[in-house]
Amino acid sequence: MTRCAVLSWLATFALAALVAPPPARGDEGKDVNAANERAMKAAAAAVAPMVVKIETAGGLEVVGGGKKAGPAGPPTPGVARGTGPTTGLVVDADGFVITSSFNFANKPTDIFVTVPGRPTRLVAKVVATDQTRMLTLLKIDAHGLPVPIAYPKATVQVGQWALALGRTLDPNTDHPASISAGIISATNRLWGKGLQTDAKVSPANYGGPLVALDGRVFGVLVPAAPRAEGEAAGFEWYDSGIGFAIPLEDVFAKLPQLKTGANLRRGLLGITPQSPDVYTAQPVIGAIQPDSAAERAGVKVGDTILVIDGKQVPNFSAVQHILGPKYEGDVVKLKVRRGEKEIEFSSISLLGTSTTFVNAFLGLLPLRDDPTPGVQIRFVYPKSPAEAAGLKEGDRITQIGRADTKILVPVRNRQELSTALAQLSPGTEIRIEVKRKEGGKVETVTAKLTTIPDTIPEKLPLPSSAGKAMESPPKGKGPVIPAPAPAPKKDGLPKEKSSITTTEHVLFQDDPFAPKKDDKKEKVETGFLTRSDDVVGREYWVYVPDNYDANVSHGMIVWFHAAGQGGKDGEKMARTFRAFCEDYHFILMGPKAQNAQGWVPSETEVVMQDVKRVLGQYTVDRTRVVAHGMGNGGQMAFYVGFNVRDVFRGVATVGSVLGTAPKENVANQPLGFFIAVGDKDPLLKDVQASKAALDERRFPVVYRELKEFGKEYLDEKTFAELLNWFDSLDRI
């Protein structure tokens, strides 16, 4: 059926509806339903000739994980390869078919396409992939195929009927396609790249069309998620009432490039925000990737973005919505405020990849909660640049600068020192002004930065904190924030029920989760606490050491239990970590998975509500918040670590694999990894592959294989290393 034939057929249907006799009184409701049904069937029938069946053979059995660890092991990590057919949409009369890249995540060796009205399957080959919208273009040997009409995305309205079509349930492609009816529930989703629908979207119709009642096509159905990326991102949401479609108008716009065999990549400016709050904070640039489009153009850290392509940007969410749909090679105009000046960049060409950021390392741990200007050194790493420069425990760093500029700038606290070093690369030589502990003499030394080593100090000195988190720090970012008075010490690990309360907060003045000051402070509870959130029906537990002091900033470990545990290991974990939490000032908490089979990524948002409540009640050092888990729980720890970068600074896993490819390393949101696995664990090779993927992205990784271990937790030596790794996450 040609495009003209489709329009003629729909016009005939519309005319018939107009001249139909008026309904009898009392039958209006029935008539409306009947009219809707006729319209849906007509729209689906008009597009059905363009909806093809796709079948694959060969490839991986599991996407994004390892094989199942036996009948007694945890659920299979990753997504199992689909064995049934999938769906595609004809986009060119000469045999070009667009579909979701999810359908090829298992890297099949053979692809076959069945076109309605044609008796035999046709061999297909992959032409190109749109990597930012996760669409794949196929080519079959066919001509004269019908092509759908794109619904203009600018005129799509929330509430319009939308039909999700698939070609998987019926073996006969001449029969009608499967239909799931819903509405357009949102537009401009996925940072400006997609439409949202509540029609059921699943592997049964990934790659199929989302159709309007007039027979035009809104878009191509894909699994997608606002936070995650990759072929399988958003897969866990299928049939949930949250589905996405890439506008067909956008597909047609890029079709000529895809037909040449060119893979399309997202256009990157190469910046990250200073504040984790992308909705209310000003879009101040916190970091710039080396050799990125922004760096090449001369954009600087600290610039505030005002306008992109003529559009005002009040926050970083607006920046993401404007840049989200852009491709590699697209040119943007940028206006920023730098100090008192406004600077315009008229032609910035976006890049498709950014240079992998590598964390620079000086080799020291700072004393925490110290309001005195400068940074007092708590510990110097052996064989580090700091040791080579002659820095010693107790010395205070007051200024720092690049050696080639001969300019030193003051550093008022550890956050400023960390931020300054995050802008430098390993191999950079710096000058450091230091006030010596012995005698108070001020000296200037030089050091050449290196990469973070995979070694962990055997013993870290105490105290780790100056115990002055309440005192006003020097102006800038630093430990502040009033907090509740210390709770009286208690013995044991009592079981207590607690309502959720929020009193005081955390470490940095610009933290978006910090609650407003309230004169009516509630007493802070310590010990082992079980809590529930009646609104969302979740439970979690918290262990706060009995010697908790709000003047001391605490690290926080979020424990994701293994599949089947259901949070039952809470008291055991609290006893395991008790001495460490008391001596090195850590809080331990454990959310509970809703599914007995284990964690799924879609639980992230509600879990983070629990995490942020705990962050809001105690004095927490945001440089030492860690996601920790085992098996399926470790896989969830990987997921939240990458997708909630504004909260987590470390991920520690035992016998766990990455669910998806790791994201880029980011300068102002550093993320470190501690990975342990038994050498008898069936997932050993997959864990090793996960470590290699992190190495490729240049993340700092500590990797330990436990001899003669299967799926047990940790031996004594590795556990001691893990604890020291927790305590050294704020290394500089």
Whole-number Å distance between alpha carbons of 623 and 275: 14
CA 374, CA 397: separation in Å to the nearest integer? 5
Question: Residue 115 is part of which domain span?
Answer: 47-180+199-219+242-259
In a domain, 667, yes or no: yes
Radius of gyration of the chain (CA): 29
Which CATH number does the domain housing residue 321 bear? 2.30.42.10
Distance (Å, whole) CA 585 – CA 552? 7
Residue 40: helix, strand or coil by DSSP? helix
Report the run of H or E that residue 317 belongs to, with start and end: helix 316-323
Query: Which pLDDT score, from 0 to 100, does residue 532 have?
Result: 82
Domain end call among 422, 451, 480: 451
- Positions of the chain with pLDDT lower than 70, given as ranges: 1-30, 59-84, 106, 225-241, 353-356, 472-523, 534-537, 567
Q: Are residues 340 and 366 in the same domain?
A: no
Rounded Cα gap, residues 185 and 193, in angstroms: 15
Q: Give the side-chain half-sphere CA count within 13 A for 730.
A: 29
Predicted structure pTM score: 0.62
Q: Please name every residue paired with 285 in a beta bridge, in sequence order, or none if there are none.
A: 273
Residue 54 near residue 85 (C-beta atoms within 8 A): yes
Three-state DSSP class for residue 414: helix
Q: DSSP labels for 4-29?
A: HHHHHHHHHHHHHHHHSPPPPTT-HH
Structure tokens at 655: 């016998």
Together in a domain, 334 and 383: no
Report residue 613 CA to chain centroid gap: 20
The full DSSP string for 363-396 is -EEEPBS--SSSEEEEEE-TTSHHHHTT--TT-E
Residue in this structure with the two tokens 């105690």, named with its chain if needed? 618
Residue 192 lies in a domain: no
Task: Confirm whether 382 is domain-assigned.
Answer: yes
Statement to judge: residues 562 and 702 lie in one domain: yes
Q: How far is CA 375 from CA 365, 386, 688, 716, in A?
A: 10, 13, 38, 33
Last residue of a domain, one of 327, 349, 371: 349
Amino acid at site 344:
E
Question: Do residues 537 and 637 both lie within one domain?
Answer: yes
Domain co-membership, 374 together with 304? no
DSSP annotation string for 585-639: TEEEEEE--SSTT---GGGHHHHHHHHHHHHHHS-EEEEEEEEEEETHHHHHHHH
Residues contacting residue 70 through CB under 8 Å, at least 6 positions apart: 682
In whole angstroms, what is the distance from residue 98 CA to residue 148 CA? 12
**Could you report how far apart the first and last alpha carbons of the chain are, in Å?**
66
Predicted local confidence at residue 472, as pLDDT: 57
C-alpha span between 68 and 399 (Å, rounded): 53
Number of residues assigned to the chain = 732
Q: According to the model, what pLDDT value does residue 565 have?
A: 76
The domain boundary, picked from 349, 370, 402, lies at 349
Please give the pLDDT value at position 474: 53
Q: Could you give phi then psi for residue 272, rounded to 5 degrees?
A: -135, 150
Decide if 17 is inside a domain: no
For 30-34, the CB contacts below 8 A with 24+ separation are: none
In terms of domains, do 425 and 506 share one?
no
Q: Are 200 and 187 in contact (CB under 8 A)?
A: no
Q: Flag whether 203 is in a domain.
A: yes
| Beta carbons of 151 and 164 less than 8 angstroms apart | no
Strands 450-451 and 360-361: antiparallel
Q: What is the CATH number of the domain that holds 613?
A: 3.40.50.1820
One domain, residues 440 and 559 = no
Helices 632-643/604-617 angle, 10° precision: 70
Q: Do residues 312 and 373 both lie within one domain?
A: no
What is the spatial distance between Cα 210 and Cα 170, in angstroms, rounded to a whole number?
A: 19
The count of structural domains within the chain is: 4
Query: Is residue 573 a part of any domain in this protein?
Result: yes
How far from chain centre, in Å, is Cα 73? 27
Q: Are residues 204 and 308 in the same domain?
A: no
- Does 211 lie in the same domain as 288? no
23 assigned to some structural domain: no
Calculate the CA 547 to chain-centre distance: 35
Nearest to 23 by CA among 15, 40, 35: 35
Residue 681 is given by DSSP the state: -
What token pair was written down for 251? 């597909």
Q: Is residue 691 part of a domain?
A: yes
Angstrom distances, CA of residue 312 to CA of 276, 338, 497, 504, 549: 20, 16, 48, 35, 45
